[in-house]
Chain A
Amino acid sequence: MQINKAEISETILCGLKEYVNTKKSIEPKNLWRLLIKDKSGLIGLILFLIFVFAAIFAPILSPHDPLEQNLHVSRQPPVWSEGGNIEHILGTDSLGRDILSRILYGSRVSVLVGFLGVSLAFSLGMTIGLIAGYKGGIIDDVIMTLTNMVMALPYLVFVIFVAAVLGRSLINVILIFGFTNIPIFVRVTRGEVLRIREAGYIEAAKSIGQKTPAIIMRHIMPNLLGPLITLATFEMSAMILYEAGLGFLGLSVPPYVPSWGNMLSEGRQHLRHYPWMSIYPGLAIVLSGFGMNLLGDWLRDVLDPRMRRSKK
Chain B
Amino acid sequence: MAYFIIMRLTYALALLLAVLFTVFALLHMTGDPASLMLSRNASPEDIEALREELGFNRNLLVQFGDFLYNAANGDFGNSFRYRQPAMQLVLQRLPATVELASAALILAVIIGVGIGVLGGTNPNTFIDALARGIGLLGQTIPSFWMGIVLVFVFSFTLGWFPSFGRETFAVLGLTLPNSSIVLPAFTLSLFGMGQLARFTRAAVLEVMGEEHVTTANSKGLKKIRIYTRYIFKNAAIPLVSIIGVQFSYLLSGSIYIETIFSWPGVGGLLAEAVSVRDFFLVQSIAFFTSIAVINLHLLSDIIYMLVDPRIRYR
Contacts and interface: CB of A to CB of B under 8 A. Distances in A.
B30 A153 contact: no
Interface in B268-313: 270-271, 274-275, 277, 279, 282-283, 285-286, 289-290, 292-294, 297
Given A157-B289, A160-B274, A293 B139 contact: yes
Contacts of A154: 248, 251-252, 286, 289-290, 292-293
Contacts of A153: 19, 22, 290, 293
Interface stretch (B53-61, B80-88, B148-156): B148-156
- Residue among B14, B144, B156 with max Cβ neighbours from chain A (10 Å): B144
A152 B274 contact: no
Nearest to A237: B140
B247 to A, nearest CB: 11
B142 A245 contact: yes
A248 B294 contact: no
Interface string B128-148: 000000001101111011001
Interface stretch (A74-82, A90-98, A189-197, A271-279): A271-279
Interface string B232-269: 00000000000000001001110110011000000000
Interface in A223-262: 237, 241, 244-245, 248-251
A289 B26 contact: no
Interface in A125-166: 149, 152-158, 160-162, 164-166
Contacts, number: 113
Interface in A187-210: none
A165 B36 contact: yes
B283 to A, nearest CB: 8
Interface in B40-54: none
A289 to B, nearest CB: 5
- The interface residues of chain A, by DSSP majority, are classed as helix
A293 B136 contact: yes
Interface residues of B, number: 48
Contact of A164 (B18, B144, B251, B274): B274
B290 A157 contact: yes
Contact of B282 (A164, A241, A248): A164
B182 interface: no
Contact of B270 (A155, A160, A294): A160
B27 interface: yes
Contact of A271 (B19, B148, B270, B283): B148
A46 interface: no
A219 interface: no
A153 B12 CA distance: 11
Nearest to B141: A286
Contacts of B148: 264, 267-268, 271, 278-279, 282
Contacts of B285: 157
B294 A156 contact: no
A12 interface: no
Interface residues of A, number: 37
B156 A249 contact: no
A285 interface: yes
Contacts of B248: 154
B23 interface: yes
A290 interface: yes
Contacts of B18: 149
Given A156-B252, A248-B256, A264-B144, A271 B30 contact: no
Interface string A282-299: 100110011001100000
A164 B151 CA distance: 28
B286 A161 contact: yes
B7 interface: no
B15 interface: yes
A161 B148 CA distance: 24
Interface centre among A161, A282, A285 (most CB of B within 10 A): A161
A157 B15 contact: no
29 contacts: A153-B19, A153-B293, A155-B252, A156-B253, A156-B255, A157-B252, A160-B255, A160-B274, A161-B26, A161-B282, A161-B286, A164-B279, A164-B282, A165-B26, A165-B27, A165-B30, A237-B140, A241-B142, A244-B142, A248-B256, A249-B256, A249-B259, A249-B274, A271-B151, A278-B145, A278-B148, A286-B140, A286-B142, A294-B136
Interface of A: 149, 152-158, 160-162, 164-166, 237, 241, 244-245, 248-251, 264, 267-268, 271-272, 275, 278-279, 282, 285-286, 289-290, 293-294
Query: Ordered nearest first, which 9 A-B pairs have the shortest CB separation?
Result: A282-B145, A156-B252, A164-B274, A289-B140, A154-B293, A154-B289, A161-B286, A290-B140, A157-B289
Given A157-B286, A244-B144, 6 more contacts: A152-B297, A154-B251, A161-B286, A251-B274, A286-B140, A294-B136
Interface of B: 14-15, 18-19, 22-23, 26-27, 30-31, 36, 136-137, 139-142, 144-145, 148-149, 151-152, 156, 248, 251-253, 255-256, 259-260, 270-271, 274-275, 277, 279, 282-283, 285-286, 289-290, 292-294, 297
